[in-house]
A and B are shown apart, each in its own frame.
Chain A
């Protein structure tokens, strides 16, 4: 039979104990927007669902000082509100959120769910990676903090160990940073993205950039930084003079693959276009859009 037991633990330790006890037969439940579909389509058949939404201390959102700390079960809608006045976060995370047009989805889906899901096409992962986000995990062996880059292992694979729960997400505020988010999908919004690029740049002396963090998503097994692109931009004086070369390098290094939706070659061409457009927008050279 396709039944399951529903658990609503009241504390983190109770939750990790349940997860540890039932092992692979248990799944944490956050917004359920992804997990329930898996159950419905029988791709997953967990015997136990451990609801994280009743656990005190997982739903906080603090925006003090140099970082934004977001509890794992905070819905995307709350995150959207919290970043309303922040230009950099708007240009990156906010732009990603605007792709998720459905209000019901944003009210229901959680930030922890987005990260734990590790979907290669997730709109929020590239901007969060570019911003240098870290995640705090809680498990039977205690707590640990990982950069998001190390947390994401591959398509739907994360560093979460047995019984471990993603507890909190920390998004640093990058002082003086300028950001962008570019996406090409088959539909105007929603639907499968073919390419996502996001970036955060901090202007430096001589028209250059002091910090560059560029990420491509939806092209390979997981969203990934583009170190060559970053190097080119860091070296260019002024930075805008490096845009063409950086964009061309990005097309090569992102490890684009072919799938149902597009060929590798097309993805590479689009990467170049979107990188160029994003960098032009962030570095203020106008661009076409």
Chain B
């Protein structure tokens, strides 16, 4: 994990992020690019809301029959000449992939962008076993050079600026002419394209994720803009797809429906540049394509989410819309979460995958404003699930002592309306006395975290309940 960040140190990480102006400047762009792009794309398609309903229904149907669709998918892959491997957890997946690489005698491995390989920590595992994987998505390549993790699921290097990229290229691309101008994104892209071309052409194994697995045909589908995923899967002799079990959908029609939601929600494009269906290895007479095709199906905690209050999360298509629209993400960036998946989707998913003990703070990294749910193409009730996690956190005594005390005190009062009325009246009276002439509080006992950054307006009249009662009587 980048800089040793963990989900448990979210409050500390968030403070550090808030004191990092270049980071804040970088993520500020998201509003003009991804957020307004999504809005325009959704508005330009009258059927967008109906597609969201259809997308939700497809995934709900698939999850209810997940075992059967996975079996159907497996049959079809095998029919097409491919292999299917089942991985119960991250360690399983890593071991299976290393084994395939070793049997293929692989020394060089290229990778398409894939969050799932981040989830299982594949790069570190391969590296420890003598195989150096090269990330080929431009953003992933940049963060690999920097020894970081992605800070966003679709824009992994969104926190890096072009000066930093130029410095990284000069550091790592040792045969780069020092006089070469790397001031602009175009020259940086040209440099990366040249270096990565070599890697593509010399790779023995290509590893990609999948946006969809199609039960009807045994196809794996990747959706990209750069074309790196395609070069990763067609050039090497062996193509390995690592995909989690909930990526399966029944038919090509179902892919079409969700495809119409994916790019619009992610980047505001109507369609990503490359949507590629791969079915088995190259056929007799084919002049190119991989000679061996492996699909590794990963569970890693997902089967236990089925039938639980977190099942809806398995509809997620990793578009990133909830992240882009999250005011917390937009204030602190992705690394502060200390988890592979940031933002609202990450805060719901991470505790399911790695246990609440290791990620108890994440459910609180949200204002529950509801913007995520309102844009989620799969209509996942993210705020509701964040609340579930908060309840579990409290039940399991993972909430910090101070907060537990506050919540317990509040519960005590809330269950006793007359006492509650008295306490709030007293509080309002006290605050009004503490305020300066302008009615603003510059310091409030126990609320230093608030007043350190802004004033608190002092209550002017009675409490809400006394006002309500007064007006009701009139």
Q: Do A and B bind each other?
A: no
